[in-house]
Structure 1
């Protein structure tokens, strides 16, 4: 697994945890930063994971609004928490990280959905993120 893939998984874990436990991302990030500082093996993936989490936090209203508009028939509240976190993570990459091609962000998100959610979730994530890429001009 590449360093960026590991970072995405870590960012997903943090976003999911904050959402599910209704904790602030700042609190979750502080705890994870302390853990990463004590474990040098985790530091490489931590830097990009932190960038993702900070980016999602900074653009949360925009990202959630776009996902809500493009997830036909679904509200954010109806989505499984893991799917919501995956969509937020990948939407940030598509819209705000020009280093990551939209196709890569979408593929990585679909793989996360396949491994952590359901096959239906993978299709749903793929469809929503395809529309995010089109809307963001990154397709």
Structure 2
């Protein structure tokens, strides 16, 4: 597993956890930052995970508006929390991280959704993120 894939997983954990606990991403990021200092062997994946979470936090309203514009009336609060977090990560990478090709952002999110969420989640995540990439 690549360090960026591990970083996306760590970012997913933070974003998903904050969503479930109804906590701000800023608060969840600060808590994870403290935890990260206790595990220096995981430092390789932390820098990009932090960048993802901070980026999603900084652009959350914009990301959510773009996501809802591409879900054909499927509101964010009806999505499984894992799907919502993965789509936010993928949308941030597509719209705000030029270092990651759109296809990579989409493929990583789809793979994670297929492993971690419902049977339909991979296709749903693919459709939403592909539409966002086409519309940029």
TM class by shorter chain equals over 0.9
Shift of 1:21: 0.6
Aligned to 1:113: 113
Shift of 1:7: 0.2
Aligned to 2:130: 130
Alignment length (residue pairs): 136
Partner secondary structure for residue 120 of structure 2: helix
Structure 1 segments, 4+ long, off by >3 Å, are none
| Residue range with higher mean Cα deviation, 95-104 or 18-27 | 18-27
Q: Deviations over 1:13-34 (max 9, x none)?
A: 1000111110111221111111
Shift of 1:100: 0.2
Q: TM-score, normalised by structure 1?
A: 0.95
> Which runs of structure 2 are paired with 1:10-89 in the superposition (5 Å)?
10-89=10-89
Q: Deviations over 1:31-77 (max 9, x none)?
A: 11111112111111110000000000111111000100101131001
Shift of 1:86: 0.4
Structure 2 gap segments, 5+ residues each: none
> Which runs of structure 2 are paired with 1:94-105 in the superposition (5 Å)?
94-105=94-105
Structure 1 gap segments, 5+ residues each: none
Tell me the distance in 2 between the aligned counterparts of 1:89 and 1:123: 16
